[in-house]
Amino acid sequence: MPLNKVFDQTVKLPTIPQVVYDLVEMTRYEKTDLSDIIDLVRRDQTIAAKVIRVANSSFYGESGRIASVERAVNLVGLQTLRTTVITSGVMSAFPQVAGISMGNYWRHGLTSAYMGAEIAGTLGVDAEEAFTAGLMQGLGVLLIQLRLPAEAKQIGTLVHPLDLAKRVSVEREILGFSHNDVTAELLLRWRFPQSVRTAIADFPEPDRAAILGKILRASSEYSWYTLSGVREELIMASLDSKLASALGLSQERLERLRGPVRDAVDAIVISS
């Protein structure tokens, strides 16, 4: 199987802190007590500090006033807590990857994640799953860079590492698989929900994808166009018209979402 090139090696796969697994599981149930979640976050000092830094960011207007996990969680809310913990855990698994600007990588992933969550929320789709899919989607690119550096360098001469839609055909030609296949397999091993894995696996073919896969394709492309400097008024025209119509996207809607998405990304990136 072609993916063996990435996964069947003696070098250990990147891992994420146990608190991430536990929080993903706990927040799947509406009746989970908030005090249990706060106790869980306290067990990991690095992630607890990250949550407190986010609460003290300018986004929440409480700079320097929040010193406890309990106050931080009460301020930012459960959804932001979940996204902060997952983001921090994944960032810790991939601190540096040769050939990739990690600052740009995380800004791309977070922009896709937050835009996906915003789109999902208006369609009655699970916004947290859309966020997770957007954040995790590019992990296959990082693993390819780490495990197959020669092939990754060859791919990099033909397409930008973060132009995820265009990478697929190049990767399949050179490797026999693509980064989204790698990500889906990694998330299987990390025990993430099947719905998220399926959305990522279906990313190359949005016409055939379920709604979460369509959202991921649109949010990922929006993120790439934003990162690569496409003017805001041209992004809508750059998106696939059929996909945009299926998701109810318009120029007005993208402009309305741009500010909140950018501010949410900055709250995470700047506090890192």
Q: What is the pLDDT of residue 11?
A: 64
Percentage above 70 pLDDT, the chain? 96
Check whether 118 has a pLDDT greater than 90. Answer: yes
Whether 27 and 21 have beta carbons less than 8 Å apart is answered as no
CA 202 – CA 208 distance, rounded (Å): 8
pLDDT of 14 strictly over 90:
no
Does the structure show a pLDDT above 90 at 110?
A: yes
pLDDT of residue 56: 86
Residue in 103, 92, 119, 107 with CA at minimum distance from that of residue 19: 92
Residue-wise pLDDT tens digits, 202-254:
999 999 999 999 999 999 999 999 999 998 888 988 888 899 999 999 999 99
The DSSP-derived string for the chain is: -TTHHHHSSSSPPP---HHHHHHHHHTTSTT--HHHHHHHHHT-HHHHHHHHHHHTSGGGT-TTT--SHHHHHHHHHHHHHHHHHHHHHHHHH-S--TTS-HHHHHHHHHHHHHHHHHHHHHHTS-HHHHHHHHHHTTHHHHHHHHH-HHHHHHHHTTS-TT-HHHHHHHHHHHHSS-HHHHHHHHHHHTT--HHHHHHHHTTT-TTTS-HHHHHHHHHHHHHHHHHTT--HHHHHHHS-HHHHHHHT--HHHHHHHHHHHHHHHHHHHHT-
21 HSE (CA, 13 A, CB side): 9
% of the chain surpassing 90 pLDDT: 50
Confidence of residue 54 (pLDDT cuts 50, 70, 90): confident
Residue 1 has pLDDT above 60, yes or no: no
Sign of CA dihedral 26, 27, 33, 36: positive
- Asked if the model's pLDDT at residue 260 lies above 60, the reply is yes
CB 244 within 8 A of CB 222: no
CB 196 within 8 A of CB 136: yes
Confidence of residue 175 (pLDDT cuts 50, 70, 90): very high
Residues 148-168 have pLDDT tens digits of 999 999 999 999 999 999 999
Query: Which pLDDT belongs to residue 211?
Result: 96
pLDDT of residue 9: 66
Predicted TM-score (pTM) of the model is: 0.87
Do 167 and 141 form a contact (C-beta atoms < 8 A)? yes
Q: Specify the pLDDT at position 13.
A: 79
CB atoms within 10 A of CB 150: 7
Residue 75's nearest CA partner among 89, 94, 61 is 61
If one compares 64 and 123, the residue with the highest pLDDT of the two is 123
Burial (CB count <10 Å: 0-12, 13-18, 19+), residue 269: middle
**pLDDT of residue 44 exceeding 90:** no
Q: Looking at residue 272, what is its pLDDT?
A: 61
Sole residue written with tokens 């929900």: 193
CB 46 within 8 A of CB 92: yes
214 contact partners, CB below 8 Å, separation of at least 6: 206, 243, 246, 247
Half-sphere exposure of 15 (CA within 13 A, CB side): 6
Token pair of 195 as six digits: 């719905």
Q: What is the pLDDT of residue 271?
A: 60
Q: What is the pLDDT of residue 109?
A: 95
Average pLDDT, the chain: 89
